[in-house]
A and B are shown apart, each in its own frame.
Chain A
Amino acid sequence: MENKWEMLGSSNEDREKIWSKNRTFAGDVWFRFRHKPTSIAGLVIIVLLMLFALLGPMFTDYSYSTQNLEVVNIPPRMKVYETPDGSGYLYVTQALKVVQVSRDGIMGNQLKKVREEADSSMTIFDCSGTEVALYYGAKPYVIADPQTRVIYPSAHVWNKSYVLGTDSLGRDILTRLMYGTRVSLMVAFVAAAVNMIIGILFGGISGYAGGMVDTVMMRIVDIISTIPLTLYVILIMVFLESGLQSIIIALGTVYWVDMARVVRGQVLSLKQQEFVMAARTIGSSTRTILLQHLIPNAMGSILVTVTMLIPSAIFMEAFLGYLGIGLKPPLASLGTMCNDATENLRSCPHQMFIPALVICLIMFAFNFVGDGLRDALDPKLKK
């Protein structure tokens, strides 16, 4: 009787060779994922942003709360005037002070004020022995020779001390950006994880139990989802003290509705499938059926939903920050940075532009990754 299988037996080794790769499901997904440029780009951006947020603060000299009121609202690219001896540059601050800037853009000390010549709208400063005049009679303010009234040659240099400039309190924007990104990512990940757990439990139970339980649980979800989430989050934030925990609680308890729906749908369709039926006839416990059969098979959609949920959590956090009900100052988040920047949007648009750009980057990156994951998890596209 064993001979019946000899025929197959001999070809088995050949087949082993034909199957060159023994790819697991995850391996398969990764293979498809990395062949899509946008998803890889998204992943790289996320990794870079995480490095920036986590390791960046080690390399800056400032903290997110260090204020220096003498150098407020300095742009990343400064208009400067040459010193009389031509050894460096001078920069005029908003507060009508003059700061030394080295040739390669490092900011130095303030010049000492010598006297005020109000009738000719000039302030005279002492620049290493020579007198220079700040003329404030007309904008833009210029630096000139007080005797000949000749304006010193001007130039533009990149700011090396404050690469992205400073904000209205003289805090380094780059440093705050690092902390802000860190907060945003953390809020997003924690909120996503909380949503995922609540969503999987709620949706899983609802779908698996079915019947009345399912109907009641899904009506609850329907009711929650008819409340505008933004309003709900704002209400929670008003009741709780503002701060990181409150944001996480607010976001974590809101966005699970979508997740619950997705998981329930998956479980409902999966539990009708024969392999789940088979598990029942085998005598496997409900626990095994849920953890080994249903959840792993629903994991694809769960992952996609989570990656799509992260950008909305980030946006929501930024939005709350922008409304001023997010973090307490001086803590920075991308949203509060945008909020701080609105005051002098006209004179310093970069203060708004930079954190907004980072928000966009994060959202793009997660959306790309989510898209890529969705495609990679679709076995019909298998190559």
Chain B
Amino acid sequence: MSEQNILEVKDLTKHFKAGKKQIVHAVDGISFTLQRGKTLGLVGESGCGKSTCARTIIRMYDPTAGQIVLDGTDITAMKQKELKPYRKKMQMIFQDPYASLNARMTVRDIIAEPLMAHNLVKSKEEANDLVYPMLERVGLTKEHANRYAHEFSGGQRQRVGIARALILEPQLVICDEPISALDVSIQAQVINLLKDFQEEKGLSYLFIAHDLSMVRYVSDDVGVMYLGQLVEMSEADEIYRNPLHPYTKGLLGSVPIANPKLARQKEKSSIEGDIPSPINPPSGCRFHTRCPYAVPECSRVKPELVDVGGGHKVACHLHK
């Protein structure tokens, strides 16, 4: 275990029960490490288990199997009470800025809630001393403090969400598609705000998105998820320059490219068909039902995530 790693996830698995006998394999054996001060981007289609992965790591859900090591401490099996001190180290920014703020609370109370929960302040006044600077820091003003969340625009709400996540000065922040619900013009502002905080405080981010170009901009490493599993993982620029997994290639094929010359050069590969149900995931390589390069072995043997050189890991029988 390295001192450098703020988060280590080993074989993390989360299954949900659906009905009597059916099991949703939302997350199935994911492993990665996140270094202090770095950003790990997690991309994948809708429904591939990104949010479930994030929520299991932050222990909103109890993991079915695997291990979560936060800052050197194994938090996998901790009860909610034992977990409380560790919650200060790890916070989350949510996808939906409307659903993630309580509409019956003022912005001040929302941002002060973590302080109150951890008994870091004794009175409201004391909380205000921390809340007001934080509000300014995320681009809101003191005057906004007494307003209710439902009076704000999406971008402003997301700033409130960021303020709430950061007021405890956590070391790890999990961002579950923090910008996908926002206008394009506001997305960049919020991303820049997050980057500024990272520089200032040395934060680590687990950044979930399905917008690949944004992930490249913010991430040091990128992991690609398909149907609850990691299929490729590498340093961010490397994965864009040299995607190895057919699924990653397909994903990149659907990224709009500004330079038409580059676009033409690019290997044209798009993914056909729908994502299979996580209730009965395909055998062997889970991507074989849609993979243009599939060989018979693919439907029988599950490819392991292996390092093909320079820390570029891929799970595909074509690359060993």
* A147 within 8 A of partner (CB): no
* A226 within 8 A of partner (CB): no
**A283 contacts B103, CB within 8 Å?**
no
* B46 within 8 A of partner (CB): no
* A212 within 8 A of partner (CB): no
Interface residues of A in 249-294 (CB under 8 A from B): 273-275, 277-285, 288, 292-293
* B139 within 8 A of partner (CB): yes
* A5 within 8 A of partner (CB): yes
**A274 contacts B148, CB within 8 Å?**
no
**B143 contacts A275, CB within 8 Å?**
no
* B283 within 8 A of partner (CB): no
Main secondary structure of the interface of A (DSSP, over half): helix
Main secondary structure of the interface of B (DSSP, over half): mixed
**Known contacts being A283-B84, A292-B105, is A273 close to B117, with CB within 8 Å?**
no
How long is the Cα–Cα vector from A171 to B103 in the complex, in angstroms?
55
Interface size of A in residues (CB-CB distance below 8 Å): 30
Among the listed stretches B86-94, B226-234, B272-280, which one makes contact with chain A, having 4 or more residues with CB under 8 Å of it? B86-94
* B290 within 8 A of partner (CB): no
How long is the Cα–Cα vector from A293 to B105 in the complex, in angstroms?
8
* B237 within 8 A of partner (CB): no
Contact with B139, one of A5, A19, A379 (Cβ below 8 angstroms): A5
**A275 contacts B100, CB within 8 Å?**
yes
- Number of cross-chain contacts by CB at 8 Å: 86
Residues in chain B near residue A280, CB distance under 8 A: 60, 80
**Known contacts being A277-B60, A281-B92, A282-B87, is A4 close to B99, with CB within 8 Å?**
no
How long is the Cα–Cα vector from A9 to B140 in the complex, in angstroms?
8
**Residue in chain A with minimal CB distance to B88:** A283
Q: A363-383 CB contact bits vs B (8 Å, 1 = yes)?
A: 000000000000000010000
Q: A1-32 CB contact bits vs B (8 Å, 1 = yes)?
A: 10011001100100010010010110000000
**Residue in chain A with minimal CB distance to B96:** A274
**A25 contacts B148, CB within 8 Å?**
yes
How long is the Cα–Cα vector from A280 to B117 in the complex, in angstroms?
10
**B146 contacts A22, CB within 8 Å?**
yes
Residues in chain A near residue B189, CB distance under 8 A: 4-5, 8
Contacts A282-B91, A296-B105 aside, 17 further interface pairs with beta carbons under 8 A come to A5-B189, A8-B189, A9-B139, A16-B143, A22-B146, A273-B99, A274-B94, A274-B100, A275-B100, A279-B113, A280-B80, A281-B91, A281-B92, A284-B116, A292-B102, A292-B105, A297-B102
Question: Hey, which bits of chain A sit against chain B, CB under 8 A?
Answer: 1, 4-5, 8-9, 12, 16, 19, 22, 24-25, 273-275, 277-285, 288, 292-293, 296-297, 299, 379
Question: Hey, which bits of chain B sit against chain A, CB under 8 A?
Answer: 55, 58-60, 80, 83-84, 87-88, 90-92, 94-96, 99-105, 113-114, 116-118, 139, 141, 143, 146-148, 150-151, 161, 164, 168, 189, 192-193, 196
A–B Cβ pairs within 8 angstroms, 18 of them:
A4-B189, A4-B192, A5-B189, A8-B139, A9-B139, A19-B151, A274-B95, A278-B94, A278-B100, A281-B58, A281-B87, A281-B90, A282-B113, A282-B168, A283-B83, A283-B84, A283-B117, A293-B102
